[in-house]
Amino acid sequence: MSEVPPISGTGMIIDGKALASEVEAETKVRVDELAALGGRPGLATIIVGDNPASAMYVRIKHSACDRVGIRSENVNLPEGAGIDEILETIRGLNEREDVSGILLQLPLPRELDPARAMAAIDPAKDVDGFHPMNMGSLLAGAEGLVPCTPKGIIWALERLGVDLEGKEAVIVGHSNVVGKPLAAMMLNRNATVSVCHVFTKDLASHTRKAEVLVVAAGVPGLIRGDMVRPGAYVFDVGINRVGGRTVGDVQFDEVIGVAAAVTPVPGGVGPLTVSILMSQTAKAAEMKMKMKEG
Amino acid sequence: MSEVPPISGTGMIIDGKALASEVEAETKVRVDELAALGGRPGLATIIVGDNPASAMYVRIKHSACDRVGIRSENVNLPEGAGIDEILETIRGLNEREDVSGILLQLPLPRELDPARAMAAIDPAKDVDGFHPMNMGSLLAGAEGLVPCTPKGIIWALERLGVDLEGKEAVIVGHSNVVGKPLAAMMLNRNATVSVCHVFTKDLASHTRKAEVLVVAAGVPGLIRGDMVRPGAYVFDVGINRVGGRTVGDVQFDEVIGVAAAVTPVPGGVGPLTVSILMSQTAKAAEMKMKMKEG
């Protein structure tokens, strides 16, 4: 990551791995402090079934835990586990002193209701930020534990020196995981926020006005160069497998020549998200320690 | 309210009182059913101090209760009441079987934290929809008890036959009470949503694209005729006292000639909001009865 401020149209690549390393380094200091006080943070992940992608994502998260000194463990429930078994597992982890954060890896198999499971996680251990209490505090402007991908984008913008206040921000995608919580976080920072999605009639008319553009649509190459405002900061949340390659929602080769800065896929938003999960697990442990003291 | 579909530019006045009467009539039927089953809904309001505006708003709400058959009561705490006294009052009302809805009238005096007080209300009795659990469920697309003004606007659009899916919706104002929850509700209905506010650089460039425009800025006459798209549906949430008159945020005389339909001030969004409070108090009572049965 260059220390030189980016100039419009120079097309800086936003190095997600480098940013993630910064977050991890910061987090490691906090984890060491917590450990010195006898409260080393612990992350418990839950996988239901044997989805290979879920197993891979959880492995990546555990590796990050190892790097920053967070204790980690995984509970693997069988493919046929019912909602009661999941809720029981969560309740057990809620009770445990040595578990600071609980992460239920999605998707769940079959008809299992992820909302019901996530609402059972102690909000103070909800390091993914999807519990209604945490989502509601976020919407009301009191951000505690929040969804990791939006938080990573906000963090990167701060790190890049982009002040959101008064900026035209456009988000493509209105999911519960990225689009809607990110919109709330950007409004909390006084950006003008537009949220587009598959039902939007004229997508380009919105994206061309964006000083900050975040694309989380799951459509390979959706955003072409002529849809981007010169000098924009572009975050590509898409992870799509196309012809054996992993590509984003942004036509990187075209957009890099127009934008001020773009995240690549892979190596952009992905690693940043994992590092924020570490930071939030430390935060959950810090909050617990503060409550004990207070 | 005319039954004829509005034509672009005819400038229909959206009669908030007539719409509110419809909501109240619907609600009265539900309240009568609940009462017949022995569960007449009750609304408890709390006023702290002696703000005359608060007293007036609460009177209006109690009158609406009388019209639909909801039992109502008010707890008036002294101006000097502390947060503990407020929390204790709320806890007492949380426990009471005959109280279906609890409404803490804002603003609170002095430095009292409204967020802390509102978070103490049982989410199942939170008829104002401001509890983090309810705001979070709303953001995640599972709308239970939600803020009344946004809900009233959504209800009016449905009643007017305006399908939000794919519509360009613009909200001016990003408060916790109107702008942010309404943005979430419109996204849940697949509108393309832009939220502007005092930090927005070029407000007119946004408002001119709006097929549905909601203004909740608290700035008298902010929206002029040339800032509105012909054929738009315009909701004016503003209530401002100017020279002894109550006016909205929209220059009604100008906008009525451009828009398909506009809410007046007074007599627009205000009465609709109160009627939705009645409907939500009935809903809270219905949910309680369902839980008992289930």
Same domain, A171 and A237: yes
Question: Which residues 225-244 on chain A approach chain B with CB closer than 8 angstroms?
Answer: none
Same domain, A153 and A188: yes
Contact at CB, A200 and B194, closer than 8 angstroms: no
Q: Is residue A65 part of a domain?
A: yes
Same domain, B260 and B173: yes
Q: Is residue B20 part of a domain?
A: no
Omega within 30 of 0 (cis) for the link into A52: no
d(CA B91, CA B75): 13
Q: Is residue A112 part of a domain?
A: yes
Phi, psi of B103 (to 5 degrees): -130, 115
Same domain, A103 and A158: no
Same domain, A152 and A263: yes
What is the per-residue pLDDT for B144? 97
How many structural domains are present in chain B? 2
Which of A113, A122, A175, A199 to mutate to probe the B interface, most B CBs <10 Å? A199
Q: Is residue B28 part of a domain?
A: no
**A91: closest CA among A112, A109, A116, A113?**
A116
Segments of chain B scoring below 70 in pLDDT = 1-10
Same domain, A257 and A164: yes
Which of B59, B89, B122 is a domain's end point? B122
Q: What beta strand segments (E) does B163-288 contain?
A: 168-172, 192-196, 212-215, 233-236, 240-242, 245-247, 261-262
d(CA B247, CA B221): 8
Q: Domain containing A99 — which CATH number?
A: 3.40.50.10860
Same domain, B175 and B240: yes
Residue stretches of the annotated binding site of B for NADP(+) = 173-175, 239
**B124: closest CA among B274, B287, B276, B277?**
B287
Helix, strand and coil in chain B, % to nearest 5: 45, 15, 40
Does A113 lie at the interface with B, CB-CB under 8 angstroms? no
Coil/strand/helix, residue A165:
coil
d(CA A253, CA A221): 10
Same domain, A84 and A164: no
- Specify which residues B170 forms β-bridges with: B194, B213
Range of the domain at A162: 147-270
Which ranges constitute the DSSP H helices of A128-268?
132-139, 148-159, 179-188, 203-207, 252-255
Omega within 30 of 0 (cis) for the link into A230: no
Same domain, A160 and A212: yes
Omega within 30 of 0 (cis) for the link into A6: no
CB-based contacts of A225: which residues, under 8 Å, 6+ apart?
A: A251, A254, A255, A257, A258
Q: In B, which residues are within 8 Å of A197 by CB distance? A: 187, 190, 192
What single-letter DSSP state applies at residue A223?
Answer: B
What is the per-residue pLDDT for B8? 47
Q: Is residue A280 part of a domain?
A: no
A132, A139, A195 ranked by CB distance to B181: nearest: A139
**CA atoms within 13 A of residue A2's CA, in its CB half-sphere:** 11
ipTM of the complex: 0.95
- Specify which residues A75 forms β-bridges with: A46
Does A204 lie at the interface with B, CB-CB under 8 angstroms? no
What is the per-residue pLDDT for A137? 98
Contact at CB, A168 and B131, closer than 8 angstroms: no
Give residue for tokens 């773009």: A262
DSSP B150-198: HHHHHHHHHHTT---TT-EEEEE---TTTHHHHHHHHHHTT-EEEEE-T
Does B195 lie at the interface with A, CB-CB under 8 angstroms? yes
Q: What is the mean pLDDT of each run of 10 residues along chain A (294 residues)?
A: 48 97 98 97 97 96 98 97 97 98 95 94 98 98 98 98 98 98 98 98 98 98 98 97 96 96 98 98 96 83
What is the per-residue pLDDT for B110? 84
Structure tokens at A149: 């991908």
Catalytic residue IDs of B: 61, 105, 128
Q: Is residue B181 part of a domain?
A: yes
CB-based contacts of A121: which residues, under 8 Å, 6+ apart?
A: A90, A94, A102, A104, A131
Q: Domain containing A241 — which CATH number?
A: 3.40.50.720
**A260: closest CA among A221, A294, A228, A219?**
A228
Coil/strand/helix, residue A171:
strand
What is the per-residue pLDDT for A293? 83
Q: Is residue B292 part of a domain?
A: no
Same domain, A106 and A185: no
What is the per-residue pLDDT for B177? 96
What is the per-residue pLDDT for A110? 84
A131, A192, A201 ranked by CB distance to B200: nearest: A192
Structure tokens at A67: 């790097």
Same domain, B105 and B194: no
d(CA B12, CA B168): 20
Q: Is residue A277 part of a domain?
A: no
d(CA B238, CA B247): 7
Same domain, A153 and A262: yes
